Structure 1
Amino acid sequence: MKFYLSFLFVFFAAFLEADNWWIFFNDKSCSKEIKLAEKSIERRLKQNILFDDYDLPVCLDYVNILKEHDLIIRHHSRWFNAVSVSLSSLDILDSLLVYDFIKDIRPVVKIEIKKDTLLTNKTLDYSHYSRISNILEYGPSFNQINMLGGVDLHNLGFFGSDMTIAVFDAGFFGVQTLPIFQSLWDNNQIIDMYDFVDNDNDVFGGSTHGTMVLSTMAGDMADSLIGVAPEANYMLFRTEDSASETLIEEDNWAAAAEYADSVGVHIINSSLGYTILYDDTLNSHSYTDMDGNSTIITVAADLAASKGILVVNSAGNSGNNDWYYIGAPADGDSVLAIGAVNNAGEIASFSSRGPSYDGRVKPNVCAQGVNTIVADMDSTIRVANGTSFSSPLIA
């Protein structure tokens, strides 16, 4: 087995320059204690979900041995019984082959992002948005909420209170200062945040994409934009590096999902639809991999769902290009994949299509993703296109 792995590493080196790798362990023999927050335990008990080996952390003895080598531990994964590491040289891989506790080593996959279309500067006419019998003043955001029955729920007093929603995105520029989010801070509704790209607590840089996504959920600006769940609690997690233009790495998303599970999140909104980007024959992926079982991100999303979390993910924006189909993790069998429609309920041309490769219906549902009302980095209310903005309307 060790000879086979060594041969693979030489083969990888010939075709692939990877800095980051997964190291999978054989067991969790030194892990005895499940470490989950009380809210996570409560969520599972309410749904009669049993605890299992997936809930045990990785063996720290193994991790400490790895730290003796010239590598950096990026993330621990209890679900995959693995760590992701950064290497300064592929030669380090050979030095790891002596350890019997290592089951497998493979590259952290980089993933292509299908971007949303640009914001427009369309002038918004508020005059025809009725507020009769509604307790909130929605302005132009009325339609995107009303078409899902959200206005009726608001009128009945359901605003998302007592729910915790984790938002996975590329950054939340300005959320800490913009007036449209002031109520979140006043009411202590942003209860956690973490940057899984840079491994720090500053999520307010990187991108405005998460800002726009969050505004459709939690925005509170009368006569302009009201979110679907303005009274929910939110956790903001940066999982994508927008500076890399088109690539993110799968271990960031998986790490965020595991953390969300451990602290008691009820819902994950991931407005990030990914397809796999490798041209070499050794590591290439295609539509055949959109089968619900082939990518780390999809497996992580399904595991999150198995722990009682509702995982909501944008279907992607590839409906009018060569890829065409949904991306990961929208292909997961336990992931609610969200497509985009216009304000009349007609499918958007860019919305990624199904089915999954194994024939399951995807997307599962749709929401308004054409001319969706969002808040930009300066609280300007604009319209934007993309399944990134239909997904949070469902979440």
Structure 2
Amino acid sequence: MRIFPPFILFVTLLLGGCGPRLHTQFLVAAENPRVYQHQNIALLDYSGTASHRVTRQVEQTLSAIEVRGVPYFELHRAERAEDAQQARQRGQRLGVDAVHFGRVLHYGWHDEPLSMSREQWCKRPYRGVKRNKDQLQACLYGEERPSNHPFHPHEEQVEVVIEESNSGHGKAHKSVRKITTRRTKERVTTPVICRKRTARVEILPQVVEVASGQLIYSKKQQAKRWALTCPGDQAKGSTAAETLLAQALSQSLTAYRQDIAPYLRAVTIPLLEETQGLSPRATQNLLQGVAFARDNRMPRACSLWQQSLEQSPSPNAALLYNLGVCQEVAGDLAAADQLYQQAEALLSQPNDAISRAIARVNGGLQRY
């Protein structure tokens, strides 16, 4: 049986307004430690509606789990079992440590009407058909407006160029007039009846330990996905029920996967740059270490911080904390916790970064 301690897959440095920060991912243990310790496992066919489809997705989920590029589970397949006792018997014949099986409690979808309001811009129809001088306003307004008619909220003044004939000289010239016209569009709110399509998946994965015959995992996993289709949405079409069901099943299996196998967790870790109390040489090494960290060179940064510790008779909280980050990145949570505790002991008031670091590593230590 192999137990994987937490370790860093990769580290990226993010520089923000509050100083340098490490944005990293830890591989942490599963939520159920008793389940993830068994890596030689068998998967039995699920029972219930769409059982073949669900079993296939569960198998793909388990097969895709890798640690350091190596498949985490040694997976065997077997036919369906009626209960945990029969599942254990299947496991004994296959020579595995644990058997995964389960039931599909619900796998379906339904449509329901949904009343909504829609706002859209609608064109105003023009009632004027002739665009000569006398009927220009009617064409632009859509109707003749008396001179004493007040301005409408959807009206505005525009400049219109009109060709006029000068009877005295016999030739036309252009004049610019400001007239008030309705906008060609207005916002209209209309009630619409849409269709809401909801897909729901509920499964009950279970794990029986072959040696003891105990059911060590049994937890419902469920998820819903929905899509809305309204009149006028024909261009994009309605979301297929199978697409929504696949998304809901994937969401359910994500929670199941975190329960039974190691998974990645994103963590952002700030670095500290306080130099108070350090010797000149130790101060220089601390700041140089932060500079190397800014360049995403954590091994060099940790080496400089270690030199700073050796050169300073009384290290400050920032130096001890940064060294704790080095140990946490290396996966030694016990050493990191000790350094974080020493850093906190030097504080006269709480420091958010140090408090978060202590809580973070303690959570990891309790899990392992």
Larger Rg: 2
TM-score range for the pair, normalised by the shorter chain length: under 0.3
Structure showing the higher strand proportion among its residues: 2
Normalised by the length of structure 1, the TM-score is 0.19
Structure showing the higher helix proportion among its residues: 2
